[in-house]
Amino acid sequence: MKQPTHPQTTASGDSLKAGKYILHSRFTEVVNFVCDNNLLVLAKDIKYLSPNTLIVENVNIKQINEVILENNQIKILPENINLKIKNTISSEFNFELANIEKTNYILSKLQNKYLPLFPAKSLAFLLDNNRKKHFQTAFERAFYQQITEGASLINNNQILEGIKNIKGRGLGLTPSGDDFVAGVLFALHFKEHLYNKDLSKLRNNILEIALSKNIFSNNFLIFAHDAKFFYRFKNFLEKAYNNPDNLEQPLNQLFEIGSTSGADLLTGFILTIQYKL
């Protein structure tokens, strides 16, 4: 079968906002663009799909300086390529898949069987004390200490204080702490469904505290607050609820990109489900 060689979009997130986006940062497979407080991500592989991402094919994403998004079309500059946005993938999760029993079963499996798959430098030390040994430099030790204190505060129902201790902490463009907070926000949606509670006020307060000048984290956190799931996390959850005895492959897919990002998110998710909120 001959593969198409013309530029095209192959998938898109469902929360793209119109605007003239300028280049923010480039990575090997992903390029980020900003317009006001909005972020648009162009990526080569669907594994990077999030509500504000466009997956493109046969486009040299590293040469793009500007993207104009309007009327279900994008114009890529300077090459002046016009592409139709197609194959919009929903970021909504079907909460009907989840019940308390299944959720507890998945969480116990993750903790008892699959922790070795969590990257060494991830926040999974909050699930397993033995992982402290992976944090050896002065920065890492202080990081470990502050995150542990934050999680402890959350566990003692001083949730907002705990979030303050965790958010924004971590090395790169999307700090581990923010991934953790996103996991907390996603988990709150589950708790609302599982226990028929209204936790919207808590979600709003957490978001308010967690927002910063980091446009990446902000977009990420707002999506989590609004229950707009990233493709790889949604994929993991769907597979986990449909086949809770086989979590290895979905976990590996979740952990495949972003260094510790997937594991940090999941750690926040697991702990929040377990906390008595």
Partner 1 sequence: MITKGITKQGKYYDSVSLMIISNEINKLSGVIDSSIVMGTHENISILKVADLYISDFDNVDDTDLLISMKVEKEEDFDNALVKLDELFNELSNKSDDDSDFAPKSLENAIKQMPEANLSLISIAGKYAVAEVWKALKSGLHVMLFSDNISIEDENKMKAYGLENDLLVMGPDCGTAIINGVPLAFSNVVNRGDIGIVAASGTGLQEVSSIISNEGAGISQALGTGGRDVKKEIGGKMFLRSMQALAQDNDTKIIVLVSKPPHESVQAKIAAEIKNINKPVVSILIGGNPKVLEEAGAFSANTLEEVALMAVKLSKGEDIKSVSTDTDFSEIVEKEITNKTPEQKYVRGLYSGGTLCDETQLLFKDKIGYAYSNTPLTDVFLMKNVWESTENIVIDLGDDEFTAGRPHPMIDFSLRNKRIIQESTDPQVAVILLDVVLGYGANMQPSQELAPIFRQALENNPKITIIATITGTSGDPQNKELVEQELQNAGAIVMQSNASAAKLTMEIIAKLNN
Part of the chain binding partner 1 (CB under 8 A), chosen from 24-32, 102-110, 196-204, 233-241: 24-32
| Contact mark string toward partner 1, 140..159, x via CB under 8 A | -xxx-xx-------------
Min dist CB 102 to partner 1, Å, is: 22
20 interacts with partner 1 by CB under 8 A: no
Min dist CB 2 to partner 1, Å, is: 10
What burial class does residue 182 get, using C-beta atoms within 10 Å of its C-beta: 0-12 exposed, 13-18 middle, 19+ buried? buried
120 interacts with partner 1 by CB under 8 A: yes
CB contact at 8 A, 269 and 183: yes
160 interacts with partner 1 by CB under 8 A: no
By 3-state DSSP, what share of the chain in percent is helix, strand and coil, each rounded to 5? 50, 15, 35
Q: Round to whole Å and give the CA distance between 197 and 238.
A: 22
Count of beta carbons in the 10 Å neighbourhood of residue 275: 17
Long-range contacts of 242-245 (CB under 8 A, 24+ apart): 242/97, 244/102, 244/105, 244/106, 244/109, 245/109
Min dist CB 272 to partner 1, Å, is: 19
Part of the chain binding partner 1 (CB under 8 A), chosen from 81-89, 181-189, 226-234, 257-265: 257-265
Among 34, 85, 89, 117, binds partner 1 (CB under 8 A): 117
Q: In this structure, what token pair is assigned to residue 196?
A: 């028929």
Part of the chain binding partner 1 (CB under 8 A), chosen from 81-89, 98-106, 134-142, 235-243: 134-142
171 interacts with partner 1 by CB under 8 A: yes
What burial class does residue 1 get, using C-beta atoms within 10 Å of its C-beta: 0-12 exposed, 13-18 middle, 19+ buried? exposed
Among 10, 18, 20, 26, binds partner 1 (CB under 8 A): 26
Q: In this structure, what token pair is assigned to residue 19?
A: 């605007």
Q: Round to whole Å and give the CA distance between 243 and 273.
A: 19
Among 18, 68, 89, 173, binds partner 1 (CB under 8 A): 173
Handedness of CA 264, 269, 271, 272 (dihedral sign): positive
Q: In this structure, what token pair is assigned to residue 91?
A: 């970021």
22 interacts with partner 1 by CB under 8 A: no
260 interacts with partner 1 by CB under 8 A: yes
172 interacts with partner 1 by CB under 8 A: yes
The footprint of partner 1 on this chain (CB under 8 A) covers a number of residues equal to: 46
Min dist CB 154 to partner 1, Å, is: 16
Edge-to-edge strands of the sheet including 81-84?
A: 8-12, 53-57, 38-43, 30-35, 19-26, 66-70, 73-77, 81-84
162 interacts with partner 1 by CB under 8 A: no
* Residue ranges in contact with partner 1 by CB under 8 A: 5, 24-28, 58, 60, 62-63, 116-117, 120-121, 130-131, 134, 137-139, 141-143, 145-146, 167-177, 212-214, 248-249, 252, 258-261
